[in-house]
Structure 1
Amino acid sequence: MQQPPIVLDRSTGVPLAVQVAAALRSSPTVRTGDRLPSTRELATALGVSRTVTAAAYDQLLAEGWLEGRRGVGSFVVGAAGAVPIARSSPADLPFAPTIDLRPGAPCLEVLDRAVWRRAWRAAGDEPPDGTWSAAGAPAFRTAVVEHFLRARGLAADPADVLGTTGTSAGAAEVARLLPPGSRVGVEDPGYRRSAEALRGTGARLVPLRVDGDGLVVDEIPAGLAAVCCTPAHQFPLGGRLPAARRVALVERARAEGLLVLEDDYDGELRYDVAPLPLLASLGPDVVVLLGTTSKVLTPTLGVGWLVAPPGVRDRLLAVRTATGTRPSRAGQRVVAAMAAHGDLSRHLRRLTRELSVRRELVRDTVIAAGHHTLGDAAGAHLVVPLLDRADETSVRAVALERGVVVDGLGRHTLRPESPDAPAGLVVGWAGPDRAALTRGLAVLGEVLRTVPPG
């Protein structure tokens, strides 16, 4: 087909690969069944490097919007509003079904289905709500304190907890309290979903450098209204913020009037030591804690929580009350039921044991392939450094051809074209079942052997 009309804007700060993927996804001229130009042809037409177009195609392939046919090209299978075409059955596809090794998915294999059903039945036994609560279900807020906060050193009361739909949504709620156009610092590389949620509120994002220990506090520029960070397990590089940096961040927040958004997306998952104390326990007057059950249970529940300084919490409640905004209590009831029966504690213990074993499988595979890994013994992902973005793109493309989807650091930076931006793979191990993980790691190890270590 001819090249679809794509206009790139290099002044926005949005990565070019993200712009290319978005333009293809939304183009009214792209129809289901169309074959797209090759990455090389499109790169030439747009005046960008092939790395940009290859990354855009990788993203669309991973989303299921594109389908690669070996020796033929990339075909559109998910264009909105297009006339459907006949699809091959899985047995007829020219490539194996994908095994997803990207981070972010929960480990559903260890979620006991009997526990799941019992929790939903218990939640359904509660009478329907006749009114709504801006703060959330009381039993859920108690469960958050008992199971997620007290073990982390945060002396919170259930009244301090607000229910949310997740960490990104909670960050966006807080950002809307800031003056319009406020400058908000985000880790780079960092969690792009939260960054985009913040950008969507009108905040101006300021990239903040991270290293192997997390956020480099000394390099945070002056004049920010807030800083969003992942101190317990930096996403995606995997470091833990040292005590001295934690103290320095809280002191700067107090001195400069900063609000610190602590994204504790997987803080319960540690395999070497007990879960780390929360930054909010050190600076409850300047830190907003954001948590979620999507990594330790499932995104199906749509459940998260927020603990903020009293003034911030009161403003959030006022906005929710004025606008009728409130998180759904259905998922909150399920979590509360799991906690009440002891099932939540048992699940967290099973989950930690399983993910610890899987982490060692991943590390053994990477080391056997002649590479090394970055990241603490925590969470459900690690980083495999590579020499440059070209190797990152190549490894991801070859793995995808063999049915394995793996993430790259380039997708998690606000400055993918910067020569200082690190290159590497971000490998997750929670989503597939153990058998699929083993098959996927075998492919990943073979592909890694074809490139030098970073």
Structure 2
Amino acid sequence: MDVPDIPPIVLDRDGAAPLGVQLAAALRSAAASGVLRAGDRLPSTRSLAATLGLSRTVTAAAYEQLLAEGWVTGRTGSGTFVTAVPAVTAPAAGPPPTVPAPVSAALIDLRPGTPCVEVLDRSAWRRAWRAAADAVPDAEPRPEGLPEFGAAVVEHLLRHRGLPARPAEVLGTAGSTAAIAELARTLPRGARVAVEEPGYRRAARALAEAGLEIVPARVDARGLVVDALPAGTAAVYCTPAHQFPLGGRLPAARRMALVERARAEGFLIIEDDYDGELRYDVAPLPLLAALGPDVVVHLGTASKLLTPTLGTGWLVGPPAVRAAVLDHRDRTGSRPSPAGQRVFAAIAAHGDLARHLRRLRRELAGRRTAVAAAIGAVGHAVTGDAAGAHVVVPLVDAAAERAVIAAAADRGIALDGLARHHGWDHPRVAGLVLGYAGPGRADLARALPVVADVLAAHPPR
């Protein structure tokens, strides 16, 4: 198949927008004008880079953006093809309306959920992949996960989370959300599951898509309010180490009360320890799984600790739960990929994982201090424990939240608000959920004065 002619692309090499963002916008325009049509094959990233005099990193970033947005698709061995073309309509009378730029085109993304890959030791990363590639290819699937991965997780949980476990008690997963979806399929259809409100909406959606009834579980500044849990639930999903998104740590008394109530009422506790390793002030409290191994399923992930590239996580739970998950995998043929497990085990094998975690804690502790100082300088405060990779900046109401997010987007900063993390009725609290792990140090330093300036126009709560 011939590659279509690409129209002249003008890039502002001195402009504020990254060249990859500009190139992606130019290719979208080419599709809108009809120069590119659905099914057309784009030049390779190397060829386009040579034509435009760019680094291949720039053209690859532009293609990745278009892939993420669904405009193009990659076919192994064939290339990159246009899959969607914007509809062209006749212009309306009068001046065109002002359309805000999509969040994905923001220069600096301060939304939560992105790990700090900047501190990842690239030499250790390459060593781990080489070691993983040296392993003999598997002839049979391992639905429970690789033994060496289980051993690495056991060591990690004991050293960094205080949870004793045996390798046979660990199931490999494709990450926390994938594990939640698997657990959901082991519960009776129509069963009630309590989910923190506000909370992690992907968890709620994964549970709901399995035919479960989702009910809100109230949280406050210290996490799940155990006394307010609704009765008659089959499971409770929570984030006790660092409640998402408010950032509180569940006190010891509430932890014990939750475990005791689970035993008394016969429900399962799903403990999502998505960033529990990242604590900067005091020692972590005992995990729910350590207090109630008979009623708690503990979930962990490499995505926040290292990178989502590995696509791997772990589940530690009661024998009946593990058996139900394995039965589901056997019936559906689903199982986590062993590739990420091999790399994780290789990183952990020679102490690289522990060294990375020490660097990561130092880096994120410093970033959190910088964020708090910048926000505090304009009269606002950050809330949430000194842990994880995000803080909350309370605002007076939802209108202020929307205004701050819009103003920041106009200046090239993507922000997140608490409204998005509510699932029932109107949001009870308003504010920013500000992530500080994803951007590089230089980008974070550029972004913080902009965020502070935007916040200065709004009174603190």
- Give the match for residue 139 of structure 1: 148
Please tell me the residue identity of whatever aligns with 1:442: P
Cα displacement (A) at 1:209 = 0.8
- Give the match for residue 84 of structure 2: 81
Tell me how many residue pairs correspond in the alignment.
376
CA distance in 2, matches of 1:385, 1:151: 31
1:205 alignment partner, SS class: strand
CA distance in 2, matches of 1:152, 1:392: 35
Contact 1:150 1:156 in 2 (8 A): no
| 1:395-406 matched pairs, under 5 angstroms | 395-406=404-415
**Is 427-436 or 271-280 further displaced after alignment?**
271-280
CA distance in 1, matches of 2:161, 2:124: 25
CA distance in 2, matches of 1:166, 1:84: 37
Cα displacement (A) at 1:83 = 4.7
Contact 1:106 1:294 in 2 (8 A): yes
CA distance in 1, matches of 2:417, 2:317: 33
Asked if 1:435 corresponds to 2:442, the answer is: yes
CA distance in 2, matches of 1:298, 1:327: 16
Cα 1:94–1:375, aligned 2, differ >3 Å: closer, same or farther? Answer: closer
Contact 1:269 1:275 in 2 (8 A): no
Asked if 1:294 corresponds to 2:303, the answer is: yes
Contact 2:184 2:206 in 1 (8 A): no
Cα displacement (A) at 1:416 = 5.5
Cα displacement (A) at 1:325 = 1.7
CA distance in 2, matches of 1:118, 1:254: 45
Cα displacement (A) at 1:415 = 2.6
Please tell me the residue identity of whatever aligns with 1:110: V
Residue 391 of structure 1: which of 390, 393, 400 is its match?
400
CA distance in 2, matches of 1:124, 1:432: 30
Cα displacement (A) at 1:33 = 5.3
Contact 1:410 1:416 in 2 (8 A): no
Asked if 1:358 corresponds to 2:367, the answer is: yes
Asked if 1:322 corresponds to 2:348, the answer is: no
Cα 1:94–1:383, aligned 2, differ >3 Å: closer, same or farther? Answer: closer
2:128 alignment partner, SS class: helix
Please tell me the residue identity of whatever aligns with 2:117: L
- Give the match for residue 271 of structure 2: 262
- Give the match for residue 19 of structure 1: none
1:384 alignment partner, SS class: strand
CA distance in 2, matches of 1:108, 1:177: 34
Cα displacement (A) at 1:148 = 2.7
Asked if 1:101 corresponds to 2:110, the answer is: yes
Q: Can you list the C-alpha shifts for 1:106-128, whole angstroms capped at 9, x where unaligned?
A: 10110111111110000001110
Cα displacement (A) at 1:394 = 0.1
Cα 1:153–1:97, aligned 2, differ >3 Å: closer, same or farther? Answer: closer
Please tell me the residue identity of whatever aligns with 1:115: A
| 1:11-410 matched pairs, under 5 angstroms | 81-83=84-86, 98-410=107-419
Asked if 1:446 corresponds to 2:449, the answer is: no
| Identical columns (%) | 63
Q: Can you list the C-alpha shifts for 1:303-341, whole angstroms capped at 9, x where unaligned?
A: 000011011111211222233221000000000000112
CA distance in 2, matches of 1:401, 1:317: 48
Report the RMSD for the aligned CA atoms in angstroms.
Answer: 2.4
Q: Which has the larger radius of gyration?
A: 2
Q: Can you list the C-alpha shifts for 1:193-249, whole angstroms capped at 9, x where unaligned?
A: 111111111111101110000000000011111000000100000000011111111
Q: TM-score w.r.t. structure 1 length?
A: 0.79
Residue 422 of structure 2: which of 413, 418, 429 is its match?
413
Please tell me the residue identity of whatever aligns with 1:173: E
Please tell me the residue identity of whatever aligns with 2:85: A
